[in-house]
Amino acid sequence: MLIDFKNLTLNQLPFETEFEKKVKAFLEEWFSGEKMVSVQTSGSTGTPKIFEIEKNKMIASAQMTCNFLGLKEGDTALLCLPVEYISGKMMIVRSVVKNLALTVTGPSLQPLRNLNEEIDFCAMTPLQVENSLEDLHWIKNMIIGGAAVSESLKDKILYTLGSKGSQRIFETYGMSETLSHIALKQIYPVSEMFFTAFEDVEISTDERGCLRIFAPHLNADVLQTNDLVEIKNNNQFRFLGRIDNVINSGGAKIFPEQLEALAKKKIPNELVFIGKEDERLGQKLILIIEGKESQDVINKIAEILFEKSFHKPKEIIFIEKIPRTPNGKINRLELKNILQNNINN
């Protein structure tokens, strides 16, 4: 289904599938006289919740992304994310703001498989990209969000598109409270280490080293995150990990996200480092790997040159399926509960 926002006639469009009807419901909400819209959080760091967002702030967020990427009226876009969440809603708002021609397809693991022409702009999750590698050449500008982009996925993108592709692919940094992302980091064709914040977004850290964001056009308050970062300059930062995911093992602080990025260079399986309660260490470093137990995978983990000796997992556990939130993020809280139940049983 194609929605041309340059020549929009909402009542004449054939909204047929359940997903298309959800898109229609949001468009009706957007073009109503109300100043607010409802958005659901993903629940990746707690219980999912519904909150209200001012439309003018969503417009400001959309303009930042479109300006950063150089999108213009008449460009094409693809919607393949759930419209319950801010990610899907913002794809529609960006199309409204810039009068894009938006192709609507239901969220799936392979949203690009039926494409036969180039699309100027698309947002996808890492899992969708993983299952769409052979079709990435159709997308000129892609942003990947919802979860961190693994090193193995970056390698696969480079292998598939080659080192001199004309496409641009970015990893996003943001959350529902920042109305989607407030910073982008290019991962193809150039691989950047630091996120670049959008214009008029101020970044700083608190006493814990966690990122603070002030974007008055998005939120009147300073937003305090639990994300540990390294700030390079006034608009660039590197994500280290969430402070609530930090593992304290024998007094040493371990950032699981950094270890996961390193381990994924060696093996393709989804994996998670977590801390397991330990009488001597406080927390013992455990590596959870998705899939059947494999000595080959264990051997590859043993080959990894970890920066510190205590970065090497004390135990490796294979699990059939690592739990995820509805929008594809790893659910670390649920994973810890599964591990605890297995121990108790």
Q: What is the CA radius of gyration of the chain?
A: 21
% of the chain with per-residue pLDDT over 90: 59
What per-residue confidence (pLDDT) applies to 151?
Answer: 81
Show me where the domains of the chain are located.
2-199, 246-344
What per-residue confidence (pLDDT) applies to 327?
Answer: 61
Strand partners, 288: 272, 317
% of the chain with per-residue pLDDT over 70: 95
Q: What is the pTM of this model?
A: 0.81
Look-up: residue for tokens 């930042």? 64
Cis peptide preceding 326, ω within 30 of 0? no
Q: What CATH number is given for 2-199 in this structure? A: 3.40.50.12780
SS3 string of 146-206?
A: CCCCCHHHHHHHHHHHCCCCCCEEEEEEEEHHHCEEEEEEEEECCCCCCEEECCCCEEEEC
Residue 179 confidence class, pLDDT cut points 50, 70, 90: confident
What per-residue confidence (pLDDT) applies to 75?
Answer: 96
| Mean predicted confidence (pLDDT) in 105-133 | 93
Mean pLDDT of the chain: 89
State yes or no: pLDDT of 1 exceeds 80: yes
| Mean predicted confidence (pLDDT) in 153-160 | 92
Residue 342 confidence class, pLDDT cut points 50, 70, 90: low
Encode burial over 192-227: b for 16+ CB neighbours within 10 A, e otherwise.
eebbbbbeebebebeeeebbebebebbbeeeeebeb
Closest to 313 (Cα-Cα) out of 297, 334, 331 = 297
Please, are residues 189 and 164 in contact by the beta-carbon 8 Å criterion? yes
Q: Residue 127: CA atoms inside 13 Å, Cβ hemisphere, count?
A: 16
Closest to 301 (Cα-Cα) out of 254, 255, 259 = 259
Closest to 143 (Cα-Cα) out of 171, 119, 176 = 171
| Mean predicted confidence (pLDDT) in 112-130 | 93
What per-residue confidence (pLDDT) applies to 52?
Answer: 86
What per-residue confidence (pLDDT) applies to 217?
Answer: 87
What per-residue confidence (pLDDT) applies to 337?
Answer: 85
- Its CATH architecture, for the domain 246-344, is 2-Layer Sandwich (3.30)
Q: Which residues contact residue 303 at a Cβ distance below 8 angstroms, ignoring those fewer than 6 apart?
A: 266
φ/ψ (deg, to 5) at 342: -65, -40
